[in-house]
Amino acid sequence: MSGRIPRSFIDDLLNRVDIVEVIDSRVPLKKKGREYWACCPFHGEKTPSFSVSASKQFYHCFGCQKSGNAVGFLMDYDHMEFVEAIEALAQSLAIDVPYELGSGPARPAQGLEAMYQAMEQSSQFFQAQLKQAPATIEYLKNRGINGQTARDFAIGYAPPGWSNLKGDEKLLVETGMLVKKEDGKQYDRFRHRLMFPIRDRRGRTIAFGGRVIDPEDNPKYLNSPESPLFHKSDEIYGLYELKKAVTNIDRIFITEGYMDVVALAEHGVKTAVATLGTAINNRQIESLFRVCKNLVFCFDGDAAGKKAAWRSLEQCLVSLKEGRLARFLFLPEGQDPDSYISEFGEQDFNQQVEQASTLTSYLFDSLLAECNIRSLEGRAQFLDRLRPYFTQIPLQSLKDQILAEVERRLGQQIDGRMLRLLGEDKPVKTTPGKLPEQHWTSTRLAINLLLRKPVLGSSTGTHNELADSGIPGVDLLLKILDIIHEEPGISTQNLLDRFRGDDHEGHIYKLAAMEPPVENDESLERMFADCLQSLQKQYIHHRQRQLIAKLQSGEALSEPEKQEHRKLFTNNN
C-alpha cells in the first residue's frame, strides 16, 4: 500500500493557514504598509529585505531572491521534506492529513499505527523485565540512577535469550526488534542489555538503544536499525523527555550518549539530549534551536571529543541567526558528562559550563593553533582557512563581530585585500518597505495582476495565438491562464503552488512580489484588459513582419496567409 496527499487537501490547507503566523513564530516580523518585513533568515543582511504578504500568502526576499509559500518556508527554514511540511502545517491546525492510494511515500502493509503499538508493547515488556532483574536494578543504582529517573526515561531491560519478544513477528521484523536470517529464522536483536526507548516529539516509541551491562560484551551500544518509524539522522534522544520535564528552557546540553542524558537529569540538569551514535547534523541542530536559542555542546577533552566538537561547529554555522548562541564545553580528559557530574555534582558542572568557549572563540583558537600569524604568510593562511566558515554565517552582525575579532587577533585593521580573502563583499543596504525599481512590460504586469487577482483571467480567452508572438514571458502568461481556466476560482496561494518545482518558480514569485502601479482594486480589471490589448497589438506587428519578410524573400503566401495578411493590415489601419 502507498499513500499520497490529495491535491485538494493541499489547496485547502494553504487557504486555511496564515503564512504570517507560520513565519512570525520563527522569524519575528514587523508590519510596514500592507506587508510584513524582517531581515532575511536565508542570507546575512543588516536591514530588512525579506517581505511576507498576508494577502497573497507568500514570502519573498528582494536581496537573495528566495521565495515561496508556507510549505516552502518550512522546507527551507526547518529543513523539512515536502510531506513533513504538510503534516506540520496540518498539525498546527489540528487536522489530520488524508492519504490516498497512488504514487507517494511507501506505507507499511499493516500501517504505521500498528508499528507504533508494537514498539510500545516492546517498551512495556522491557520495563516489566527490569522490575524482575535485581542485578540490573543494582547496576543502575551503582551508576547513580534512581527509580524515578528510570521511569521518566522508561528505561528497561532486555533479558538473555533469543526469543523473548512476543507479538506480530512481521511488525517486529519491520521495526528491527527481530532479526530475520536468510533461512527465515528470527531472533531478538537486543539481549542482556539496558534498554533506552527513543521517543519522537509526540512521545511515541520509535526505536531503542541498548547498552551492555557486562563490560565483556560488544558493541557497547546497539541501536535499532532504520525503519519506517526511525531515521536516526533526524531524531534526538531525550528531546521529548526534556520538553515534558521543563517549561522554561534556558539552554540545551548536547551530549554523546544516553547515560550522559540520564545522569545529568538525575543530578538536576534536565535539559540534556544526545545524538544517536552519529555526529550531529544541521537538521538536528535546527530542531534544537527552535526549542531553545542557547545550545551547549558537551564533549570529552580527548581527540575524539575535539573531532566531534569541530563537526558540530561546522554544522552550526548556517543556523546562527538572530539571538542564537552555541558554546562548547570540554571536560577534563577521561571524563564525560555522566562521570563528571556524578563525581563533582551539579554546582561544579555549572561552573564548567560558565567557562565554556563561545563558537567564535573556539573557531579562532582552533585555526590560530594551526597558523603562525606573526608572519605575512601565516596571516594569509589563517584568513584562507577562516573563509569557508565565515562565508556560511547568515547573520551579518555576527560576521561583523568576527571581523572585529580578526582585527584584534591580528593586530591589524581589516582592509579590502583581507575582505577579499574572506570572500566578503560590501553589504548591499536596503530600506524596509522600499522595493527595487521595477520595470513593467505588458507581459509582466498581466502576470502580476493575475497573481494578485486570478479571477481576472476567468472571463478572457486562452489567447493561444500569442504563443507564436516571440514576446518575452508570454509562455508563462499563457500557462497561468490555462490553469485559471482549468480551475475556476483558484486562489493566489494555490495558483503559486502550481509552479512548485517548475522552471518558472523563482521568476513567478519575483513577479508576484512586485507592486503594480494601480490606484485601487477597481482599476485592476481595466489595467489587465489594457495589457491584453497591448499584447495583441505586439502580436499583430510581429505577425505582419513575418508575412512581409516571407513576401520579400520571394516566397508566395498560402491562401490562409493571404487572408490573414489582408485582415491584419485592415484591422491595423
Q: Does one domain contain both 448 and 495?
A: yes
Can you give the pLDDT at residue 423?
65
pLDDT in tens, 81-136: 788 889 889 888 878 888 765 444 444 334 577 888 999 999 999 999 999 999 99
Can you give the pLDDT at residue 192?
95
CA atoms of 87 and 81, how far apart (whole Å): 10
Among 321, 345, 363, residue at a domain's last position:
363
Per-residue pLDDT band for 291 (boundaries 50, 70, 90) equals: confident
Residue 571 reports pLDDT greater than 60: no
How many domains in the chain? 5
- Region 271-296: mean pLDDT is 87
Residue 328's contacts (CB-CB under 8 Å, 6 or more residues apart) are 296, 297, 299, 309, 312, 313, 356, 357, 358, 359, 362
pLDDT top residue among 546 and 514: 514
**Kind and range of the H or E element at 522?**
none
Q: Does one domain contain both 454 and 559?
A: yes
101 found inside a domain: no
pLDDT top residue among 107 and 470: 470
433 found inside a domain: no
pLDDT in tens, 520-545: 666 788 888 888 888 888 877 777 77
Q: Does one domain contain both 163 and 211?
A: yes
CA atoms of 478 and 484, how far apart (whole Å): 10
In this structure, what CATH number is given to the domain that contains residue 480? 1.10.860.10
CA atoms of 42 and 543, how far apart (whole Å): 45
Beta-carbon count within 10 A of 536 CB: 16
565 backbone dihedrals φ, ψ, rounded to 5°: -60, -45
98 found inside a domain: no
Q: Does one domain contain both 247 and 342?
A: yes
228 found inside a domain: no
Can you give the pLDDT at residue 565?
61
Q: Does one domain contain both 148 and 205?
A: yes
CA atoms of 55 and 18, how far apart (whole Å): 10
In this structure, what CATH number is given to the domain that contains residue 26? 3.90.580.10
Tell me, what amino acid is at 556? A
Residue 269 reports pLDDT greater than 70: yes
Quick one: the chain helix, strand, coil %, rounded to 5? Answer: 50, 10, 40
In this structure, what CATH number is given to the domain that contains residue 285? 3.40.1360.10
- Region 338-347: mean pLDDT is 89
Q: Is the pTM of this model over 0.85?
A: no
34 found inside a domain: yes
214 found inside a domain: yes
Nearest 10 degrees: CA dihedral of 8, 11, 14, 15?
Answer: -100
- Among residues 516, 439, 521, 512, which one has the least CA distance to residue 476? 512
Can you give the pLDDT at residue 429?
38
In this structure, what CATH number is given to the domain that contains residue 206? 3.90.980.10
CA atoms of 44 and 393, how far apart (whole Å): 7
Q: Does one domain contain both 211 and 188?
A: yes
Q: Does one domain contain both 332 and 400?
A: no
Q: Does one domain contain both 568 and 446?
A: yes
CA atoms of 306 and 369, how far apart (whole Å): 14
Residue 458 reports pLDDT greater than 50: yes
Q: Does one domain contain both 334 and 387?
A: no
262 found inside a domain: yes
Polymer length of the chain? 573
Residue 262 reports pLDDT greater than 90: yes
Can you give the pLDDT at residue 38?
92
**Exposure pattern of 312-343 as b/e (b: 16+ CB <10 Å)?**
bbebbbebbbeebebbbbbbeeebbbbbbbbe
- Among residues 516, 509, 550, 548, which one has the least CA distance to residue 531? 516
The full DSSP string for 449-488 is HHHH-GGGGTSS---GGGGGS--TTHHHHHHHHHHHHHST
Cis peptide, bond prior to residue 219, ω within 30 of zero: yes
Please list the residues that pair with 210 across neighbouring strands. Answer: 195, 222
CA atoms of 109 and 1, how far apart (whole Å): 6
CB 434 within 8 A of CB 506: no
Q: Does one domain contain both 467 and 532?
A: yes
pLDDT in tens, 359-383: 999 999 999 988 888 888 888 888 8
The share of the chain scoring above pLDDT 90, in percent, equals: 32
Residue 397 reports pLDDT greater than 50: yes
- Region 271-299: mean pLDDT is 87
**Exposure pattern of 452-479 as b/e (b: 16+ CB <10 Å)?**
bebebbeeeeebeebeebebebbebbbb
In the DSSP assignment, the letter for residue 106 is B
Can you give the pLDDT at residue 520?
62
Residue 190 reports pLDDT greater than 70: yes
Sign of CA dihedral 251, 256, 262, 263: negative
Please list the residues that pair with 329 across neighbouring strands. Answer: 298
Cα dist. 569→123, 154, 555 in Å?
Answer: 83, 85, 19
CA atoms of 195 and 23, how far apart (whole Å): 39
| Angle, vertex CA 232, rays to CA 229 and CA 237, nearest 5 | 95
pLDDT in tens, 507-518: 888 888 887 776
Q: Does one domain contain both 412 and 318?
A: no
Beta-carbon count within 10 A of 205 CB: 25
Which SS3 state, helix, strand or coil, does residue 562 take? helix
Instruction: Tell me the residue range of the domain where 153 lies.
Output: 112-223
CA atoms of 290 and 530, how far apart (whole Å): 48
| Highest mean predicted confidence (pLDDT) among 30-34, 251-255, 388-392, 491-495 | 251-255
Strands (E), 50-148: 50-53, 58-61, 67-68
pLDDT in tens, 128-157: 999 999 999 999 999 889 999 999 999 999
Q: Does one domain contain both 377 and 344?
A: no
104 found inside a domain: no
In the DSSP assignment, the letter for residue 81 is -
Q: What average pLDDT does the chain have?
A: 84
